[in-house]
Structure 1
């Protein structure tokens, strides 16, 4: 679902964090995952279990995947998935928030152990990262103003103005259909541009649209069409033997959650439907 640049603010967030959670924290430990690792081990899972925490990157601004509730607590489908993975590994989950552009870059640099943020598997990303097994499936919606009659299919995006975080899969899809994409920092900016008429459409997860409408029932927007192909959502890891055992352990945790019905339960809780099964 959604790929964005490392800024000084994001670096600070990686060190300081912002939100406390019961049993987990967005503040981090004041060190990168590399700095926390045992210098004698090239096995990331062993390093994580030795220090007793797994550092998970996410945006914190993309409901219902990862966002802050009215009390300011970090919540969401991916937050709870991360907590349950940490529990399966026998460690605490430490969440570090930042803008999308910096999340994968931070994963590359070793500031985070994994990223859980509704990440779609793409061919380009698969060249750069190893992925867990899919734990959710996404349909992309083309969202327009309520009175828009110019867009009724994906092909109608040709020459239209859209907005997304610039390295997201949604931006890539829009560009692939000939749209002119404006880069934004987060979902809220996207809808502000759409509602003000400065863009013609935006692409995002179908479930994100319904979540937004639940919070903003009077918003004058609608789904113009859906991309017929669902994308696979998974957890990216740095490539290499260092992450192999961690990836295996995460896959086992996801499989156990799926078998126990926990993934479907979380999906129903946050999306109102089960997006954890292929269509």
Structure 2
């Protein structure tokens, strides 16, 4: 009888220990994201690194661009260092979903579909989409003319979705330079991209045989996607506060003028 009671006692202790361990794991998993980032001392930011002037490599192979500096300023406001991780467009969001990245800073435009899956910071940029064709192309003058035509853009990007909505067949590529090379070579009919990105490209390639034939009427809101969830609430609030302070101080506008030649941070 004593042996049986002793066995039951030990079994009960083990069950309590396992329950405590399980609770500890749950507590760790649900820890406040901002606190985790500040404890680590590092903000992990995902971006492509191939889309000038947002995020790209200079002649010395340094990662530079508007979004690079914005992310650094936000990390500074949070009191941490920034760790940049580069990848392809769709991989950025897969990494955000899995928790490998804390945020994606890559000129991301807010869409209804994305807003269902992610929480967004307040906008830090406002841009219009340009319809770009080869210099000698006289067939495409409006977005409606894309029906039955071919375009090229990053996989799963806003521009790819917009082109497909007008009936275009889209060839996926990794960078703006590749996109415009295909248009100039006549391998695709057109491409859609941020107006400011196109004009930045033309500053570097002034003789490129491409032109803008149409622009969207309304400006898209550029924002920072983050994971949804109560544990991320204080992190989102801190990022919003950082963006507001950067706007109010004029720093955000200065960074924009540096890379775009104009202030895209005001609607």
Provide the C-alpha distance between the structure 2 equivalents of 1:158 and 1:166, rounded to a whole number of angstroms.
19
TM-score of the two chains, using structure 1 as the length reference: 0.85
Q: Over the residues paired in the alignment, what is the CA RMSD in angstroms?
A: 1.1
Greater share of helix: 2
Residue of structure 2 equivalent to 1:167: 156
2:251 aligned partner: 262
Q: Secondary structure at the match of 1:85?
A: helix
Residue pair 2:50, 2:174 contacting (<8 A) in 1 also: no
Consecutive unaligned residues in structure 2, runs of 5 or more: 1-26
- Partner in structure 2 of residue 58 of structure 1: 47
* Match runs of 1:37-186 below 5 Å: 39=28, 42-186=31-175
Contact 2:130-2:216 at 8 Å conserved across structures: yes
TM (norm. structure 2) is: 0.88
SS in 2 for 1:209: helix
Shift in CA distance, 40/192, structure 1 to aligned 2, threshold 3 Å: closer
Task: Give the match for residue 33 of structure 1.
Answer: none
CA contact (8 A) 1:41 1:47 kept: no
What is the alpha-carbon distance in structure 1 between the residues aligned to residue 250 and residue 175 of structure 2? 31
Rounded to whole Å, the distance in 2 between the matches of 1:82 and 1:41 is: 25
For structure 1, which segment, 151-160 or 118-127, has the greater mean C-alpha deviation from structure 2 after superposition? 151-160
| SS at 1:214 equivalent | helix
Is the Cα–Cα contact under 8 Å of residues 124 and 223 in structure 2 kept in the other structure?
yes
Higher gyration radius (CA): 2
Moved more, 43-52 or 158-167: 158-167
Structure 1 residue 233 corresponds to structure 2 residue 215: no
What is the distance in 2 between the residues matched to 1:100 and 1:187?
12
Structure 1, unpaired ranges of 5+: 1-37
- Give yes or no for contact 2:131–2:191 (8 Å, CA) kept in 1: yes
Quote how far apart the aligned CAs of 1:184 are: 1.5
Runs (4+) of structure 1 moved beyond 4 Å?
A: none
Aligned to 1:208: 197
